Every structure is written in C-alpha cells, then in structure tokens.
Amino acid sequence: MKTHYYLGWFNNFFPEKLEKVLQEDITDRKSLVMISSTPFVDEADGATERSWLDHAGITFDEYQLINFHVQKEDAHSLLENASVIFLLGGNTMEQNRFLMDYELAEPIKKSKAIVMGASAGAINMSAKWLCSKNFGYDVETSSFYDGIALNDFSVLSHFDLENNMALVQEELSFLSKEMKVYASNKDCALRTKGDKIDILGNVYLISNSGIQKMDETF
C-alpha cells in the first residue's frame, strides 16, 4: 500500500499528531533520499526538512541528497533503495525541471518508499499544477506543469488561503473541472494511504469550481 505525504511548511516542527502518524508509518529507516529544489546548490539543502524528522525522533542510517552533482544513474539507484523519498521545499519550477531532466518520476513512482513533499515538493508530487504570477511565480503568462502524478489530483501547498480564497478559487477553477485540487496553508498535511486520504490543518477541496473545507482526520 503506497503512502504519500503532501506537506505545507512548518515554521517550527511537525505538530504532535503528524509526528505520531509518521512514526507509525516510517518503520524502515535505512535511507532518506532528498530531492533538491535548488539542484545547483549543496549548502544546507534539506536541513530544515531533516530537522522536522529529527524532532519527531525519526532518524536514518543514511542521508542522501539528489541534485545535479549526482550522476543520473546514481540518482535512480538511490531512489530504488530509499526507505523514504523527500521532495524538498523551495523553487517549484527548478525542481520540476530537474525531475524531468533526470527522469525521476518513474523511479519515484516505482519505489516502495514512503514519498513526502513539502511546499514545492508537494506541488511537484501532483498530477498537474498551475504556475501563475498570482501564486508568486515570476512569470507573465500562466501555464500548467505536469508533476510526478503520484495521485490523480493537484495540490496548492503553503499558500495564504484565508486572505486569498476568492483568488485561489478563480485561478484553479479551470483545473478543478479536470481533477480535484487540494489547497492548503503552511502548517498542513494531506496523507494518502492506498485510496484513503487523511487531512491535518486547514485544507480545502476545489472541485468543479466549487470549494469546501475538508474535515481534519488526523
């Protein structure tokens, strides 16, 4: 049964509810493989996300970072042997380009590892996502990007929904007619385990242009 975590961003650490579920889910702790969102940079990449896991008492025998300094074949091998794959937060577009350049989508989908993504990483785990200047991207024209498609829905992660609800609903209206879109603020999480979806924090479902708040199930 595949388990995927779509996370927002956490200014401190994971909430206790999330820590507890992660501790139960992550039983194999041999190797954590992190995928960069700034693939030309090594310094401190993944330090914040790793600190969240450390605080939850989840440590691994090996920590690996995949970026352009790792050979493509080696990156695929690391993913094949990973216990947990973590797509890091940061630059969504750069990470998406890196995922495509290194052809990482299929190895991630085939892996038996738990797959996690924070902010940009969660967005790139989507089937498809909207790149718009209204969502903070440095672009003139909005466009859709294909993600890894671990699940058949889209994610807008780590966005100020409460002050921009009408904007979010309007921007994602077209996409919501093609697939479900889950929109969340920073201290939130969405977990899929098989066909079951669990929610932590303020997560909204946008479907067929309508929007509704999801019940918290953690």
Q: What is the per-residue pLDDT across 167-200, written as a single tens digit (0 to 9) for each?
A: 999 999 999 999 999 999 889 999 999 999 999 9
User: What is the tens place of the pLDDT at every residue in 10-69?
Assistant: 988 999 999 999 999 999 999 999 999 999 887 668 999 999 999 999 999 999 999 999
pTM, full prediction: 0.96
pLDDT for the residue 162: 80
Total residues belonging to the chain = 218
Q: How confident is the model at residue 163 (pLDDT cuts 50, 70, 90)?
A: confident
- Give the right CATH number for 3-213 from 1.10.3720.10, 3.40.50.2300, 3.40.190.10, 3.40.50.880: 3.40.50.880
The residues, any chain, with a CB within 8 Å of residue 114's CB and separated by 6 or more, are 3, 4, 5, 25, 26, 83, 84, 85
DSSP β-bridge partners for residue 5: 116, 191
CA distances from 6 to 62, 69, 87, 202 (A): 23, 26, 10, 13
Q: Are 90 and 37 in contact (CB under 8 A)?
A: yes
Between CA 66 and CA 120 the distance in angstroms is 15
- Nearest-5° Cα angle at 78, 75 to 82: 140
